[in-house]
Amino acid sequence: MSKLFGFSGEGDFGGPVFPNPKESALFLSAGRLLDVYFPPSKKSRVTAPFVLPKNHVSIEILPDECLFEIFRRLPGGEERSAAACVSKRWLSLLSNIRGNEICKSSPKNEETEDAGYLCRSLEGKKATDLRLAAISVGTASRGGLGKLSIRGTNKASHGVTNLGLKAVSRGCSSLKVLSLWNLPAVGDQGLAEIANECHQLEKLDISQCPGITDKGLAAIAKNCPKLTDLTIESCIHIGNDGVQAVGQSCPNLKSVSFNDCPKLTDQGISSLMSSATFSLSKVKLQALNVTDVSLAVIGHYGKVVTDLALTNLPNVGERGFWVMGHGQGLQMLKSLTITSCGGVTDNGIEAVGKGCPNLKQICLRKCMLLSDNGVASFTKAAVSLESLHLEECHRITQLGLFGTLLNCGGKLKALSLVSCFGLKDLNLNLPPSSSSCTSLLSLTIRNCPGFGDASLALLGNLCPQILYLDLSGLHGITDSGVLPLIKSCKSGLIKINLSNCLNLTDRVVFSLVELHGWTLEVLNLDCCKMITDASLSAISKNCQILSDLDVSKCAITDSGILALARDSKLNLQVLSLSNCFMVSDKSLPSLRKLGQTLLGLNIQNCKSISHHSVDLLLEQLWRCDILY
């Protein structure tokens, strides 16, 4: 019987709860915070101290084995929770009782305890073995624990250990989702306890747990056949053997993510992919010591892979991507993300486009060798491509941008270029017969300092059906470039972001609201310092369905806020006025009127609005989230 008890009186579990018996009430009152149910009791009518007779015999003299037999016969969860509030010893005993060891009164109670409805999350100092034990006891009779997230600290002392996971495993057999982050004192023993008792586990996320090795992961693989999602990050002792065990023993595995695991190499990835050929649909590899071999295996065995993310793989070269594309195994791939992989070249990315006929979304970040020719050939080869995102690809120029639009064949719906410093205005004379990209609905050109008015004019001619436009951070564009683009959009803009476009004036807003006010829902003019009250007046008259407006750091005064509030047809839900120094207490009545529909108001750094006015707004606009 002694093996039934894991808490032997050390650490959080053992000895009296408080040295002073008068302090026991403190522990009892904390019971509810620890998920232990403590029923309310009537106030005692006795005022005189109650003195036990000298020959009084306490239940505490019983050995653990006897208390164990008593506790497992308690009629219900409320009684077990109440008993757990008595002392740490009782809590430790109760948390070590397995669900199948409890003498249940009816089949109905058993079904409730095994359902797994509840979610619990412990972070920082609150992540302790004591709280896990309380959760184990307290959740069993209230739907059963289904999801548990534990995020600890770097300090091993007073944190979660294997004993805490053992308590969870004994009382939470219904656990389906487990997340363990930054728990240096947790090792294979704790994970094995989860594996031995929680056979319903479907999702496991382990991050920064140096004590967990291949042995612990293999225990999960052996005892949790329903596992579908596995995430391993920064675990220095998990490698090929553990990943191989998962591939061989988890037939329902659908998603895997491995990040910064130095012991995981081509052997582990190859074994996993070849074992999970007909189930694995999502794969993410980041900061691993894998080579072209792993990409070749993915290209051959990834028959049902739909989402693939490859990040910071320094040992993968051009041949790896070329072979992956020619492997003809990624026929179902729909989404591909590649970040900081030096092996992405024009030939490699073209091969990927040809070998993935159902690819709809691709995101390429920090691919320094990718040029205009590669992007143009890829978009031509990827026959199903709908979304293209290029970020920090500095060899992409205006030729690559417009070549992509001309080669998309009426299929591309979203195009995004972010921080591509190679984009600069060129004197391109496109022939009048050039076909327009009528399929493009979303266009983002953000933080590309060389992109100017000439490029915008060409975009207006090529993309007449844009609904979502983001030109934020383009310091070089002016009214002369933006106005033709706005006028060329035939379907009505829905969302437009012009933040940090420093040279735009009210003329752009006048044209925008006149042509698209009937469709415009979101408008961001943050840091457009030449936008004045006149723009707010035009917005209030023309934009009846506008729900989100940001005029932070603009030349807005109280008159503009008054004009905005004057039109009762306006239905704003979010208004941002941060750093509008000329908005003062005089705008209080206007803000109250706007507050009838507002759900969010940002008045941070509005130094002319007094603390008293802010207090009034907080009191009167109680349904609105106010940042100040």
* Structure letter (DSSP) for residue 365: E
Q: What are phi and psi of 110, to 5 degrees?
A: -65, -40
Reply yes or no on whether the pLDDT at 539 is more than 80. Answer: yes
Residue 525 contacts residue 515 (beta carbons within 8 Å): no
E-only strand ranges, 80-228 = 118-123, 145-151, 177-181, 203-207
**What mean pLDDT is reported for the chain?**
85
The more confident residue out of 409 and 340 is 340
Sign for the CA dihedral angle at 369, 373, 375, 379 comes to negative
> Is 517-628 assigned to CATH 3.80.10.10?
yes
Q: Find, among 531, 546, 537, the residue nearest to 496 by Cα.
A: 546
Residue 318 CA to residue 298 CA, distance in Å, equals: 15
| Of 44-48, 375-379, 496-500, 525-529, the least confident | 44-48
Q: Does position 311 have pLDDT exceeding 70, yes or no?
A: yes
pLDDT digits (tens, 9 = 90+) for 196-209: 999 999 999 999 99
Residue with tokens 């969010």: 600
The pLDDT value given to residue 184: 93
Cα–Cα distance measured from residue 96 to residue 4, given in angstroms and rounded to the nearest whole number: 7
Task: Name the residue among 432, 427, 381, 430 with its Cα closest to residue 408.
Answer: 381
Largest separation between any pair of C-alpha atoms in the chain? 107
Q: What is the pLDDT of residue 26?
A: 36
Mean pLDDT is lowest, of 76-90, 278-292, 514-528, for 76-90
Contact 254, 228 (CB under 8 A): yes
Q: What is the pTM of this model?
A: 0.82
d(CA 194, CA 171): 10
Q: To the nearest 5 percent, what fractions of the chain are helix, strand and coil?
A: 35, 15, 50
Query: Does residue 429 carry a pLDDT above 70?
Result: no
Q: Please state the rounded mean pLDDT for residues 11-17.
A: 39
Q: What is the C-alpha to C-alpha distance for residues 198 and 167, in angstroms, rounded to an integer?
A: 12
User: Of 394, 448, 460, whose CA–CA distance to 418 is shortest?
Assistant: 448
With cut-offs at 50, 70 and 90, classify the pLDDT of residue 130.
confident
Tens digit of each residue's pLDDT (9 = 90 or more) over 211-262: 999 999 999 999 999 999 999 999 999 999 999 999 999 999 999 999 999 9
- Using only the alpha carbons of the chain, give its radius of gyration: 31
* Per-residue pLDDT at 176: 95
What are the residues whose beta carbons fall under 8 Å from the beta carbon of 58, sequence distance 6 or more? none
Q: Do 204 and 227 meet the contact criterion of CB atoms below 8 Å apart?
A: yes
Question: DSSP assignment of 277-326, as one string?
Answer: TTT--EEEEES----HHHHHHHHHH-TT--EEEEE--TT--HHHHHHHHH
At 230 the three-state DSSP class reads strand
435 vs 456: CA distance, rounded Å: 17
Question: Token pair for residue 61?
Answer: 């003299």
Using pLDDT thresholds of 50, 70 and 90, give the confidence band for residue 611: very high
Residue 244 and residue 266: Cα distance in Å, rounded? 11
* E strand segments, 366-427: 387-391, 414-418
The token duo for 179 is: 């997340």
Say how many C-beta atoms besides its own lie within 10 A of residue 45's C-beta: 5
- Mean pLDDT over 557-575 rounds to 90
CB atoms near residue 42 (< 10 Å): 5
Confidence grade of residue 141 (pLDDT, cut at 50, 70, 90): low
Q: How confident is the model at residue 405 (pLDDT cuts 50, 70, 90)?
A: confident
Share above pLDDT 70 across residues of the chain, in percent, rounded to a whole number: 79
H-helix or E-strand spanning residue 524 = strand 522-524
Q: Which amino acid is at 192?
A: A
Question: Going by DSSP bridges, is the β-strand pair 548-550/203-207 parallel, antiparallel, or unpaired?
Answer: unpaired
Q: Looking at 97-106, 305-314, 383-392, 598-607, which range is the least confident one?
A: 97-106
148 contacts 176 by C-beta, under 8 angstroms: no
Which residues, 6+ apart, have CB-to-CB distance to 76 below 8 Å?
A: 105, 109, 141
Domain ranges of the chain: 2-37+58-104, 517-628
Residues, the chain, total? 628
